[in-house]
Copies of this chain bind each other. A is one copy, B any other.
Amino acid sequence: MDTVTPFQYELIYNAFSFTFAAMAAATLFLWLSRSQVAPAYRTALTISGVVTGIAAYHYFRIFESWHQAYMFKDGVVTVTGVAFNDAYRYVDWLLTVPLLLIELILVMRLSRAETNAKTIKLGTAAALMIVLGYPGEIATDLGARALWGGLSMIPFIYIVWQLFVGLGESIKQQPVAAQGLVRTARMVTFASWGFYPVVFAAPFFGLTGGSVETAIQVGYTIADLVAKVGLGILIFLIAVRKSETETVDGKAYAG
């Protein structure tokens, strides 16, 4: 375990606690908001809440693991020898990343055939991306990190291409009032996902020890917040906006 300064220790500690609170709050918000949208969009909100809920659980565990890996007493941080379990992140992503893509597809309300095809293609690519990235994350030499990171980029680029080209055509089928929000959701997904490889590459930027640990932990945490809570709120807004254009028994849907 890298030694960290008291500032780095507390920054990471508080970032984990903040993220647990934000993920748990988003989960309850998304689930309670199901009744505010038309039935067709409720599954998208349910899954958005499942994603932040799974992340809340993992941030609780990561927080506990961080707390056990170090002792902060009398102003000094010492390593306890208990390993910090970095695998929680990859376990979380293996579950949540395919679901994030599914919530994005569901809120667009494509045809059933299109929904199924995109879910299987993007979900499989996402799982492959996570599985290939993990050996790089725990590798101790930079060569192995670069190799697995590079392999993981292949499904990553496929997903980004699909989001831009494949979903791009579907955006035109969306109600005009929701098109801007759907475009923002796609952009948030793209920007936050693009941030993960940058964080992964932190050790290549000359950072070492506590600094690289801090860059990786805080970097992934920010990316997770944007990708999960940010996208969840956008999914909610899109669902509300699209519900307003739906009619139930000839009247506009009123929640």
Which A residues lie at the B interface, using CB under 8 A?
10, 13-14, 17-18, 20-22, 24-25, 28-29, 31-36, 39-40, 42-43, 46-47, 49-50, 53-54, 57-58, 61, 72-75, 80-83, 85, 87-88, 91-92, 94-95, 248, 254-255
Contacts and interface: CB of A to CB of B under 8 A. Distances in A.
Interface of A is mostly: helix
A154 to B, nearest CB: 24
Contacts of A20: 57
A231 B47 CA distance: 17
Contacts of A10: 85, 87
A254 B39 contact: yes
Given A18-B94, A28-B53, A36-B39, 16 more contacts: A14-B87, A20-B57, A21-B58, A21-B92, A21-B95, A22-B95, A25-B53, A25-B54, A29-B46, A32-B49, A33-B43, A34-B35, A72-B82, A73-B80, A73-B82, A248-B254
Contact of A47 (B29, B91, B254): B29
Task: Give this chain's copy count.
Answer: 2
A46 B75 contact: no
A135 to B, nearest CB: 12
Contact of A42 (B35, B47, B49, B80): B35
A36 B207 CA distance: 50
Contacts of A21: 54, 57-58, 91-92, 95
